[in-house]
Structures are given as C-alpha cells and as structure tokens.
Amino acid sequence: MKKTALLLMIITVLSKVTGFLRDITLSYFYGASSTSDAYIISITITSVLFSLIISGISTAYIPMFKQIENDVGYQSATYFTNNLINIVLIVTSGVILSGFLFSNILVKLFALGFDGETLRIAVLFTRIGLVGIYFTSVTQLFVSFLQLNGKFTVAAMIGLPCNFIIIISIIISANTDIIVLAIGGVLATLAQMFFLFPALKKSNYKYVPIIDFSDKNIKKMAVIVFPIMIGISIDQINLMVDKTLASTVVEGGVSALTYASRLNDFVQGIFVLSFVTVMFPLISKLATQKNKDDFKKSVSEVISSVILIVVPASIGIMILAEPIIIVLFGHGQFDGRAIDMTSKALFFYSIGMIGYGIREILNRTFYSLQDTKTPMYNASLAVLLNIILSFILSSYMGISGIALATSISALFCSTLLVIKLRKKIGAFGLKGNIITLMKVTLASSVMGFVVYSLNEYVLTDWNIFLKMIVVILIGSSIYFLLITLFKVKESKVLVNFLLNKIRPKQT
C-alpha cells in the first residue's frame, strides 16, 4: 500500500504543481486585490455547494459499494452507482437553481466586507460558476468508482487539464474581460469529467439512466450520508466565517489567506491524500470482512507514514515562509504588502499541518467503519473552537490570527479523534506512532536549525531562488540521514522504493 501511495505522490506532484502555476498566474495578473478577492469568493461558494452535495456522498459511496459487492455482487454495485449518479444530478439541479436565485445573499454571507463593484463582480462570477457543479459532482463519483477499480493514477491526474484551462483563462481575462475568469472555471470542470472517460471505458463502466429512490441501498446511504453532510456543512460554515472575517480585516485579505491555505493544502494533497486515497478502499474492504488485525495495522502504518513526511514539511515551511511566498508569488501585481500578509498566514497555517493530516486519516477510518457520527461531532467542536479563536485572535493578529485559530483547532480535535478511535477499536499501534513522532520531531528540529542558519546567516548574498533550492536539498538530506540513523522504520520504505527505481531490471 505504501509503495502505491509513494508512486501516487509523484503523480500528484505534477498535478499540484500546475495548481501552483494557476495560483501564481492569478497573483501575477491580479495580486491580492478586490478582483482576486471576488474571484476567490465565487470559487469558494461553488466549492461549498459542491461539497454539501457530493463530498459526503462520495465518502460514503466507497464502503457502500464494497458492502454491496461483497453481499450481492459487482453488477448490483454498478447498478447502485448509476442510480446514485442520476439522483445526484437531480439534487444538484435544485442546489444550482437556489444558488442562482440567492447568489447575492450567498456572497454577503461569505464576504460581509464586500460592496459596490467588488460585490457585483463576485455575484456575477458565482452565477456563472454554479453551472460547473454539475460536472464536478459527476466527476467526483467517477473518481471514486475508478479508485475502487484500482485506477488511482488517472484519478490523481484530473487536476492537470483543469489547471491548464484556468491558467489560460486568467491570461486571456487580463487582456480582454474579467468574465473569462468565471467561464474558464466552468470549462475546466467539464474537461475534468471528459478526461476520465477513457479510464471508465477500460473499467467496463456503462452508464444507464436509472432513477430509483426506493432502492434500499440508496435509503441506507441517505442515513449514512446525513451525519457526513452535517459535518461537512459545519466545516463550510467555518470556511465562511474565515473568509468573512478576512474580507473585513483588510482589502486583499481573502486572497492572502487563500494563497497561504492553498500552499498548506498542497502539502496535504501530495502527502496525506495520497496515502488516504490508497488506504480508504483497502480499509473499507477490511472493515467489511471484519479483518481487525490488518485493519488496525493499516491505519497505524498510514499515520506513521504521514508523520514521517508532514512534520519536517511543516517545520521547513514555517522557517522558509517568506522566501517561499516571494519565490512563488512575489511577481507582477503581488506587492510587498501582499507578500507580508501571505507569508505570515502561511507560517501559522503550518503549525497545524500534522493536525489536518491526522484528522483526515481518522475521519476516513471512522467512515470505513460506517461511523459517521463521531467525525460529525468532532467537526462541530472543531468549528466552534475555530470560530471563537478566529474572532479573538483576528482582532489582535489580523488574518494571521485566523490561520492560527485554524491550526489550534485542527491539533486539538485530531487528538480527540485519536482517543475516540482507540476507545472504539482498541489498541492500534498508537505507541509506535508516538515513538515515530518523537524521532521525526527530533530529526526535523535539527534539520530546521540547519535550514534557518543557512537561510539567515550563511547564504545571505545568494539569489533567493538558488538559495531556496540549496537550502531545501541540504535540509532534506540531513533529515533523511537522521531518520535513517534513528531507525525510523517507515524510512526503509522510501529507501527500498528509490533503490527499486534506480536498480536496472534483471533480464
């Protein structure tokens, strides 16, 4: 499983890099301005509505598919898939219509500080972007279906066509009309869906126009999905509060906070979600088969593997937050004020990086056990804590306080999830995870000290881009050496993976 996840990371990096190019292009042409704020808010709104419809459904879909396949057969599971897709399209139509009618109210909910031209642009962008929810909803279910059939590579690459089209639309909009920004986003979601068709055909998937609300599996799924949707809606309320506060703190605050959070998401997307993507179908199958020992072992391995990568990444990003922002975004319209806001927000987001990762893993673990209530209650507590802290800290620290509040909430609530899981399934290797965390933290701290010294005192006169490359390479080498000396068992997976790629194949 871990080797598959490592390979998936490499593929995901390519997709995530294009996502960075997309954000860099937006920052170059629009900086952290009212236009970029309006555009980002419109994307946020459509993403929230999409999440409310499909995130919970796609999460519950994988264990449901495995259960149906195990009990009745693959053909029945495929029938369930088609029925679910068609029902989702019907629900999506209602959500899009409601969103179109109340787009003005939606924008105000997500950005209380918007008025005048910024508000008008955000409403227009939102109405156009709503159409894309059709395509993203179907795409997400197709991705889950392909993952169930072992087609992880294609599913990981769907960001490529999407990001390229958005990049082109940003460039064209800067030279023509900003409405191209919103239109480009819709075309990008359509391209994602078409990108999956060849892989679906190879998986012998055939679409059938079935609509059966009385299907017992649909009814069962509705019961399972409801707590997930509540949990997701709570998360979206949290996102809404963050954006609203950022819009009232300072102009460009929404953009700065978004750029910083996307860098944080970049690490999560490459490292955490790569493991989770491979893990979820596997542990869902193990849970269905009631294979407790392998189930616990798999969960523990994924947690340790994520710790191995996310902890040093978190410390490295905290130390290099400002030069990272300068290298990636410090061009064109992205001025010194924007760099300062974004780098500070990135620093505080990075504090909670391991919390986000552990929470994502454990949420999926509970879902595989068809326990959707525990993640829902945890999400409710996390959001309540985050909102309270955001209001308090933002009054003293601006948008940096919003980022810090998110990190504190993630760390606290991921700890609670660990305790809940241990009570539910018993010992699952937590002691080993803690030992790994201690060794990795020590190695990462030494690495961080070296990286800080090189950046601040040794390579001061170097070109910033060249300095970043050298510092990251030296820091990574020191960290890799230390975890090997400390005998962190997960490091052997990385060594064997690299050696297998380097060694010539025997004939």
287-310 pLDDT, tens digit each: 777 777 877 887 888 888 888 888
Span 170-198, pLDDT tens digits: 999 988 988 998 999 899 999 988 988 88
Let me know whether 234 and 259 are in one domain. no
**Residue 19 belongs to a domain:** no
**Residue 308 belongs to a domain:** yes
What's the chain's Rg over C-alpha atoms?
A: 23
Q: Given this model, what pLDDT does residue 281 score? A: 65
Residue 467 scores a pLDDT above 80: yes
Q: Given this model, what pLDDT does residue 493 score? A: 55
* Local confidence band at 264 (pLDDT 50, 70, 90 cut-offs): confident
* Local confidence band at 167 (pLDDT 50, 70, 90 cut-offs): very high
Query: Of 231, 248, 265, which one is at a domain's C-terminal end?
Result: 248
Please indicate whether residue 506 or residue 384 has the higher confidence score (pLDDT): 384
> CA 20 to CA 328: how far, in whole Å?
8
DSSP 3-state of 86: helix
> For the chain, what percentages of helix, strand and coil (3-state, to nearest 5) are there?
85, 0, 15
Here the contacts of 149-154 (C-beta below 8 Å, separation 24 or greater) are 149/203, 151/199, 151/202, 151/203, 152/4, 152/8, 152/277, 152/278, 153/8, 153/11, 154/195, 154/196, 154/198, 154/199
The two three-digit tokens of residue 83, written as one number: 């029925």
Let me know whether 360 and 420 are in one domain. yes
Full domain range(s) for residue 453? 1-13+250-380+407-502
Query: Of 221, 248, 275, which one is at a domain's C-terminal end?
Result: 248
Q: Given this model, what pLDDT does residue 492 score? A: 65
Residue 37 scores a pLDDT above 50: yes
- Least confident range from 106-115, 200-209, 231-240: namely 231-240
Q: Given this model, what pLDDT does residue 446 score? A: 94
**Residue 23 belongs to a domain:** no
**Residue 271 belongs to a domain:** yes
> CA 259 to CA 386: how far, in whole Å?
19
> CA 337 to CA 351: how far, in whole Å?
22
Instruction: Tell me the percentage of the chain whose pLDDT exceeds 70.
Output: 88
Here the contacts of 152-156 (C-beta below 8 Å, separation 24 or greater) are 152/4, 152/8, 152/277, 152/278, 153/8, 153/11, 154/195, 154/196, 154/198, 154/199, 155/196, 155/199, 155/277, 156/8, 156/11, 156/12, 156/15, 156/274, 156/277
Let me know whether 462 and 494 are in one domain. yes
* Local confidence band at 169 (pLDDT 50, 70, 90 cut-offs): very high
Span 65-92, pLDDT tens digits: 888 888 888 888 888 888 998 988 898 8
Q: Given this model, what pLDDT does residue 10 score? A: 67
Q: Given this model, what pLDDT does residue 507 score? A: 39
**Residue 395 belongs to a domain:** no
* Local confidence band at 496 (pLDDT 50, 70, 90 cut-offs): low
Q: Given this model, what pLDDT does residue 502 score? A: 46
- Vertex 244 angle, CA 338 and 319, to 5°: 40
Q: Given this model, what pLDDT does residue 161 score? A: 85
**Residue 400 belongs to a domain:** no
Let me know whether 475 and 438 are in one domain. yes
Span 328-341, pLDDT tens digits: 887 777 778 888 88
Q: Given this model, what pLDDT does residue 188 score? A: 92
- Least confident range from 49-63, 118-132, 276-290, 345-359: namely 276-290
Let me know whether 183 and 280 are in one domain. no
Let me know whether 81 and 222 are in one domain. yes
**Residue 110 belongs to a domain:** yes
Q: Given this model, what pLDDT does residue 3 score? A: 53
Determine the average pLDDT of the residues in 492-496: 57
Furthest-apart CA atoms within the chain: distance in Å: 70
Residue 423 scores a pLDDT above 80: yes
Let me know whether 85 and 154 are in one domain. yes
Query: Of 195, 219, 248, which one is at a domain's C-terminal end?
Result: 248
Let me know whether 222 and 362 are in one domain. no
Average pLDDT, the chain: 82
**What's the count of helices (H) and strands (E) in the chain, helices before strands?**
23, 0
Let me know whether 426 and 374 are in one domain. yes
Please indicate whether residue 125 or residue 242 has the higher confidence score (pLDDT): 125
The two three-digit tokens of residue 409, written as one number: 């909430």
Residue 465 scores a pLDDT above 60: yes
Let me know whether 147 and 227 are in one domain. yes
* Count: domains in the chain: 2
Please indicate whether residue 493 or residue 100 has the higher confidence score (pLDDT): 100
Question: How many CB atoms sit inside 10 A of residue 426's CB?
Answer: 9
Residue 472 scores a pLDDT above 80: yes
**Residue 401 belongs to a domain:** no
- Classify residue 250 by its DSSP letter: -
Let me know whether 236 and 255 are in one domain. no
Q: Given this model, what pLDDT does residue 501 score? A: 42
Let me know whether 142 and 274 are in one domain. no
Residue 225 scores a pLDDT above 80: no
Q: Please check whether residue 447 is in contact with residue 316, taking contact to mean a CB–CB distance below 8 angstroms.
A: yes
Residue 235 scores a pLDDT above 70: no
